[in-house]
A and B are shown apart, each in its own frame.
Chain A
Amino acid sequence: MTEIVITGLGATTPLGGDVASTWAGMLAGRSGVSLITEEWAAELPARIAAKVAVDPSELIDRVKARRLDRSTQLALVAAQEAWRDAGFDWDAEEGVDVDPQTLLVSLASGIGGLHSLLNNWDNHRDKGYRRVSPFTIPMLMANAPASNVGIQIHAKAGVHTPVSACASSNEAISLGIDQLRLGRAEIAVVGGTESTIHPLPMAAFGQMQALSRRNDEPERASRPWDRDRDGFVMGEGAAVLVIETLEHALARGAKIYGTLAGSGISADSHDIVQPDPSGAGQAKAMQKALANAGLTAGDIRHVNAHGTSTPQGDLTEAGSIRNALGAATDQVVVTSTKSMTGHLLGGAGALETIATVMALHDRLVPPTINLENPEPDLGIDIAANVARPLPDGDLAALNNSFGFGGANVAVVVTNANQTA
């Protein structure tokens, strides 16, 4: 099977405006969560969130920025870093760096251009239809981030936007792997973005009782597998990877972070928001990913879990990891970086795939912070509160993402072919 390698990384997150600062923040166990100080949050049950560390509008041309939803601005910032990291010129003319017919984009958002949609509705309701921006539709559509990245880098092999709630960007990565293996492109920009720190989703997720209400201790609110967890923390940001066939990467002498060895997708088809409590669907996604990668459970040394810090979700996932990996679970270090970044929804899978790539690259698993009183009998070994080293030699890891609607997507990363 065609080998797919990772040659560029980019991110803008609650921990930093790029991969280096984000990764340093993760290894240090730093929380990106803080109190929402805007007046609109005052009455909400959950008033904390993990806002991006660097405002994207300051990095994008003013006139261009006013036509782009914040979620697209974040995607462009992350994509630019990844594209440059892969050795390309972000502003190059078409065809100079890459043959456009070999280049595709698969970049997700779970919810889309929410700020643009709701702000223009406010204008319509308060001032009439003439105050609705003519740019509203191209700003709110779910494929706006992918399409704007595609236009910038002249990607003509396809521009895709899979949507599966919080599994969206892992699905985008999975689609990228498949398209490259099918020969529909040789290089792909994959990832996800989300920006939903806005009164409506904060109220709506709050009404679901899905959000942590630890408003007086924001940095301690996201605490996967801790007995005192009470919901997830809304995060914001984007993460993007440049991936290509090994042949393409070698031909151009690219530096290689590691290999995207495979992916697995399943659907619970159980409930619109609750995971199947048996974890069967989640385990199936992990097992399919292993088979797709040509690996077995014994090859896995690390799992970057979905681990959102919800009461039910964390328990289900702990069980499904053991169901999928069996006795080999004992040699696996599990973590949830959401304990630090909050939950980036449609950006989460891509950010956590980058964290997984870096963990294998540096042989260091970032911690799950705030794990003071772990749930008993979880049956998984969690990198509690401090980073944990990984052994020498070949390493493989899983990154899990699960979404409302019952979507489960697991991605396998290995440290094979590293030249970086």
Chain B
Amino acid sequence: MATTEEIRAQLAELVNEVAGVPVEDVQLDKSFVDDLDVDSLAMVEILVGCEEKFGVTIPDEESKNLKTVGDAVAYIEAHS
């Protein structure tokens, strides 16, 4: 099972690939929209990317609750 830091680091790579955010900025306390300037369509791509990367399913209705990087990492930890 991957550690929290390993999941965060992999997620950071994904956010960088999709939205161009520097990997070091993708920290647990950061909000995707407010801090990292990730728009709604990029967010969809990131979450679908998580499904491929971590083997989790993130329903559309769940995605609105994943406001911060930490929210997403916690969801992945709980469901993968």
Contacts and interface: CB of A to CB of B under 8 A. Distances in A.
Contacts of A61: 20
A135 interface: yes
Interface stretch (A126-134, A239-247, A302-310): A126-134
A251 interface: no
Interface stretch (B28-36, B40-48, B71-79): B40-48
Nearest to B42: A134
Interface residues of B, number: 9
Interface string A52-77: 00000000011100100000000000
Contacts of B48: 130-131
Chain A interface category by residue count: under 10
A130 B45 contact: no
B23 interface: no
A62 B45 contact: no
A241 B42 CA distance: 33
Nearest to A62: B20
Q: Is the interface of A mostly helix, strand, loop or mixed?
A: loop
B19 A135 contact: no
B2 to A, nearest CB: 22
Contacts of A62: 20
Contact of A130 (B18, B19, B41, B51): B51
A133 B47 CA distance: 11
Interface string B36-80: 000001101100100100000000000000000000000000000
A133 B51 CA distance: 14
Nearest to A63: B20
Contacts of B51: 130
Contact of B44 (A63, A66, A134): A134
Contacts of A66: 18
A63 B36 CA distance: 14
Contact of B19 (A63, A131, A133, A134): A63
A14 B20 CA distance: 31
A312 B45 CA distance: 48
A134 B41 contact: yes
Listed from nearest, the 8 A-B pairs whose CB atoms lie closest are: A63-B20, A134-B44, A134-B41, A130-B48, A135-B41, A134-B45, A63-B19, A133-B45
Given A130-B48, A134-B41, A134-B44, 8 more contacts: A63-B18, A63-B19, A63-B20, A130-B51, A133-B45, A134-B42, A134-B45, A135-B45
8 contacts: A61-B20, A62-B20, A63-B18, A63-B19, A131-B48, A133-B45, A134-B41, A135-B41
